[in-house]
């Protein structure tokens, strides 16, 4: 008897033909073994007890099962049902071995999922041909499934990588806020949306006060850390999908929002300004105070078709200029 072993070798990627015969008659077992003996690529396992068939099939991993119908302690049709309900065995081809050509039994066997029906004992050539045919169909199916699985997995990874890449192209490397490129896309979309919905749209331009002095006193790297902290505070105010916080330029940030009446842009701007001050990041060389502060210029409008969002940003810039001139660490909001 050939050694029982795994029918499928995941390592080599090759599939061996593994025939499992379930039949209580040792004489049949011996006859089938002999019929297959001179086929080196066909491995054979004989199970003479129907009660053990499912358990043994789990271990042996047959690529085809030869199933006797009448056994003392198990019914072949019942076993067929069990194979078909079993997660690991439900696709394994089953050739029913019957002692007679009986249409009713044949019909029931096929309706339960048998793949073939042979009357015992078929001649050697027919047995080998059918075993090869069913085994090959089964292993081809497994290989196709594996290829599809691998393909789906690599497609999933590709989508993830593309998304990550896309995110990277949208993000400012230092602060993690959106970059200018993404801001332009976003604000354009939001502008059109606000036109359609006749909704208020606001932009806040936020600039760190006396930042040059900070860099001069503490160095550029320490300045970068300040920008990251300020950016994190700003980001905290942009949780809704309709809001966006972006790095507009060096130490300048821009927030785009569709404010609702309950939380006006001015209120958000004032809270943000106050949070930066309360963060208490020391800035001893600032003429505004002894901590990092920001000035915020805001502009808002209900956009109209004939207007352009660039004018809104321009207005916010004007407001920022006023905030700086009025002494910094303050909010100036203008309606466009």
| Cα 227–Cα 229–Cα 231 angle in degrees, nearest 5 | 65
Specify whether the CB–CB gap between 67 and 73 falls below 8 A: no
The verdict on whether 251 is a catalytic residue reads yes
| CB closer to ligand GTP, 39 vs 217 | 217
Query: Which DSSP helix (H) or strand (E) runs through 275?
Result: helix 265-278
Instruction: Give the residues across from 205 on adjacent strands.
Output: 254, 297
How far apart are CB 261 and ligand GTP at their closest, in Å? 32
Q: How many CB atoms lie within 10 A of CB 298?
A: 29
Specify whether the CB–CB gap between 1 and 46 falls below 8 A: yes
Catalytic choice (3, 14, 251, 277):
251
How far apart are CB 216 and ligand GTP at their closest, in Å? 7
How far apart are CB 181 and ligand GTP at their closest, in Å? 17
How far apart are CB 295 and ligand GTP at their closest, in Å? 7
| CB closer to ligand GTP, 29 vs 297 | 297
Q: Which residues bind ligand GTP (CB under 6 A)?
A: 174, 207-213, 215, 220, 223-224, 227, 250-251, 324, 328
Q: What is d(CA 24, CA 132) in angstroms, rounded to the nearest whole number?
A: 23
With 0-12 CB in 10 A as exposed, 13-18 as middle and 19+ as buried, what is 283?
A: buried
With 0-12 CB in 10 A as exposed, 13-18 as middle and 19+ as buried, what is 295?
A: buried
Catalytic residues: 251
């Amino acid at each position: 008897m050939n050694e029982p072993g795994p029918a499928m070798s995941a390592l080599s990627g090759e599939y061996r033909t593994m025939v499992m015969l379930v039949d209580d008659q040792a004489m049949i077992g011996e006859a089938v073994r002999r019929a297959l003996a001179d086929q080196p690529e066909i491995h054979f396992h004989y199970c003479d007890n129907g009660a053990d068939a499912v358990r043994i099939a789990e271990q042996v991993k047959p690529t085809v099962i030869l199933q006797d119908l009448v056994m003392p302690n198990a019914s072949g049709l019942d076993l067929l049902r069990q194979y078909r309900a079993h997660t690991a065995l439900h696709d394994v081809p089953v050739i029913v071995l019957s002692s007679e050509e009986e249409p009713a039994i044949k019909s029931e066997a096929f309706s339960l999922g048998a793949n073939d029906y042979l009357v015992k004992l078929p001649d050697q050539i027919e047995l080998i041909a059918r075993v090869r045919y069913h085994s090959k169909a089964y292993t081809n199916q497994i290989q196709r499934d594996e290829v599809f699985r691998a393909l789906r997995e690599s497609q999933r990874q590709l989508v993830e990588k593309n998304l990550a890449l896309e995110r990277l192209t949208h993000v400012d490397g230092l602060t993690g806020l959106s970059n200018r490129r993404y801001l332009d896309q976003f604000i354009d979309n939001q502008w059109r949306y606000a036109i359609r919905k006749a909704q208020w749209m606001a932009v806040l331009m936020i600039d760190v006060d006396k930042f040059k002095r900070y860099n001069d006193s503490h160095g550029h790297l320490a300045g970068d850390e300040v920008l990251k902290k300020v950016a994190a505070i700003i980001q905290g105010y942009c949780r809704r999908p309709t809001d966006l916080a972006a790095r507009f330029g060096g130490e300048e940030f821009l927030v785009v929002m569709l404010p609702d009446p309950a939380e006006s842009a001015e209120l958000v701007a004032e809270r943000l300004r106050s949070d930066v001050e309360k963060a208490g990041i020391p800035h001893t060389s600032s003429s505004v105070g002894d901590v990092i502060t920001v000035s915020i210029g805001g502009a808002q409008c209900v956009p109209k078709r004939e207007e352009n969002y660039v004018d809104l940003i321009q207005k916010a810039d004007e407001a920022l200029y006023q905030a700086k001139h009025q002494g910094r660490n303050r909010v100036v909001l203008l309606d466009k």
